[in-house]
Chains A and B, each alone.
Chain A
Amino acid sequence: MALAEITRTPRDYSLTGPEARHAVEAGLASAEWYHSDVPRKVMKDLMRRTDGPAIRDTAIWIGLLILCAGGGIATWGTWWTVPFWAVYGVLYGSACDSRWHECGHGTAFRTIWMNDAVYALASFMVMRNPVSWRWSHARHHTDTIIVGRDPEIAVMRPPDLARKALAFIGIPDVFQHFAILARNAMGRFGPAERDYIPEAELPKAVAWARAFVAIHVLAVALALATWSLLPLMLIGGPRIYGTWHMVLTGLLQHGGLAEDVLDHRLNSRTVLMNPVSRWIYWNMNYHVEHHMFPMVPYHALPKLHALIRDDLPAANTSILDGYREMIGAMLRQRREPGYYLRKELPPSARPYRAEFHALDNERH
């Protein structure tokens, strides 16, 4: 298929279709990406691992979860219960995503078992198979927003805005995730999963899926046996009523930006945020920086941002500012799927692999 035909027809985001072949042929798969210059000595300091910050944050996280669960149970049946569940829901249904992410990278803690333990817990909370998603996320970092290669493109063009709005209450996301876990628990994996999970890892993925499904089934059984929503308020439910912050911040990562470029400055978004959101999100608002240097732990990202910000597009100044920009682009993408927001680089910055950016322009 000629390039122009590919770019003007609706895109196929599957990992096994023609776009996947095109990405490989065009040199977009497993390619070299742009990196801002950071002296090795400085980068070593930034990459340095320590357990302290993540132990502190995890102790606060687990402590608050227990406190809020206790408060919610104690006040169940009264209006006083609402604030406890509001906080518990976000800590469970949103903060789980950033803990899953950072511990999946293995950067949150220096100690491997601590990363793995929090990764398993957070994977359960976010309802992701810890094996499959480790591989899926590795691919996301290899081929960030490369159509046909990246299994984690959250906003596909043309964007389905109603579906994105429902995602704020976990619909249909949570049911899809659970269905995938149930399928995995039966030993079944789709072609896309088989594309990025090595065969030898599949038995582990089945075992984890079975454990996760069993715990959720127990929670449902307990809810039915006691005829109370309380077990589901504690387990599983927060992925619906507390997931809004995860979606709020997650959509900003790449929404409305370029596809098929080899420069994270053009396909990722850094957004300056309030400290509470940054704590829940473990600083993933510095998303360009994270993709460019995934070895830098979450607690060092503000320092990295200060160091390279002159080589990056200007950061969005708030969540609201990010949404203004992104929603405008998404509304236009509904009519013009080829449209994307071209992030402006500072005058001193060098464009990288400009031919791919020009290629994406053809989709206008």
Chain B
Amino acid sequence: MGDWVDVCALDEIEEEDVIRFDHGGRTFAIYRDMEDGVWCTDGLCTHEQVHLADGLVMDDTIECPKHNGRFNYKTGAALRSPVCVALATYPARVEGGRVKVQV
């Protein structure tokens, strides 16, 4: 596992939304759910390498903005074609009002 990395203040991510986070030459998507839980996945869709941060968060799912494929952002599971390959997920937590991810 990598180091815990500071991403942003929790209130910089809206409830039921996602932001893009670039770190170490890689890109991630950081999610905030309706209960202030935070989650982290790879930032690019496994289908066509589109940034998921431009997509739509609904309940536990993120929908890719290009082809409407869906993932469960908490487990990374691919839920709806055209995505077939799951997303990698990473530990995320809130500490002192800051979002941190282990990548």
Q: Number of A interface residues, CB 8 Å? A: 21
How far is it, in angstroms, between the C-alpha of A295 and the C-alpha of B70 when the chains are bound? Answer: 12
Tally A-B pairs: CB < 8 A. Answer: 42
Partner of B67, one of A48, A49, A138, A198: A138
Interface 1/0s, chain A 22-43, versus B by CB < 8 A?
A: 0000000010000000000000
Q: Is the CB of B17 within 8 A of A295?
A: no
Contacts of A154 in B (CB 8 A): none
Q: Is the CB of A142 within 8 A of B67?
A: yes
Instruction: Name the residue of chain A whose CB is nearest to the CB of B65.
Output: A295
Chain A: minimal CB distance from B56 (Å): 5
Size category, B interface: 10 to 19
Tell yes or no: A352 within 8 A of B by CB.
Answer: no
* Interface residue ranges of A76-124 to B (CB < 8 Å): 105-107, 110, 112
Contacts of B9 in A (CB 8 A): none
Tell yes or no: B48 within 8 A of A by CB.
Answer: yes
Chain A: minimal CB distance from B61 (Å): 9
Given contacts A49-B58, A141-B66, contact A106 B80 (CB under 8 A): yes
Q: Is the CB of A295 within 8 A of B48?
A: no
Instruction: Name the residue of chain B whose CB is nearest to the CB of A141.
Output: B67
16 contacts between A and B (CB under 8 A): A44-B17, A44-B56, A49-B58, A106-B70, A138-B47, A138-B82, A141-B67, A142-B48, A142-B67, A198-B84, A201-B81, A293-B65, A294-B67, A294-B68, A295-B55, A295-B56
Chain B contact residues, CB within 8 Å of chain A? 17, 47-49, 55-56, 58, 63, 65-68, 70, 80-82, 84
